[in-house]
Amino acid sequence: MPVDHTPVDGPHRIHVRRVPGGAALDVSHLIGHLITQLARDFDEDPTGVADQLLELAGLDRSARHQGGDSHAVHERDALVDELLDSLGGGSQLIYGKQVGALAASLLAAGQVAIVPTQREAGAA
């Protein structure tokens, strides 16, 4: 079965490609939508969006210094969730036949290819 490189074509495209040892999902169409919404929000409220992004950068800086289970990590993650919600969310919706097509593409891309070995001289 050939890999369908774009098994999900809407509302946001997902591309699947085979990589050594597995599959890569390209969800850049969704990410592009989120970035575009962020730009629209910035156009409407440059100060508010800039303040949120600066707060996020500060929390991230603190989180990197304080470690993986610090208060700053939890605050940063909560702010990221809040920002994602304001942009439309980070979930990719997949409808109808696209669910099966995506599953089939992932299974096909993730199959291990068996490469026959070269026989030694004189081997039958």
Name the residue with higher pLDDT: 75 or 115: 75
pLDDT score for 67: 82
- pLDDT tens across 3-60, in order? 558 999 889 999 999 888 889 999 999 999 999 999 999 999 999 999 999 999 999 9
Q: What's the chain look like in SS3?
A: CCCCCCCECCCCCEEEEEECCEEEEECHHHHHHHHHHHHHHHHHCHHHHHHHHHHHHHHHHHHHHHCCCCHHHHHHHHHHHHHHHHHCCCCCCCCCHHHHHHHHHHHHHHCCCCCCCCCCCCCC
pLDDT score for 42: 97
pLDDT score for 1: 44
Category of 72 on φ-ψ map: left (φ > 0), alpha (ψ -120 to 50) or beta: alpha
pLDDT over threshold 70, residue 119: no
pLDDT score for 120: 61
* Spans of all domains in the chain: 1-27+92-111, 44-90
Least confident of 17-21, 87-91, 93-97: 17-21
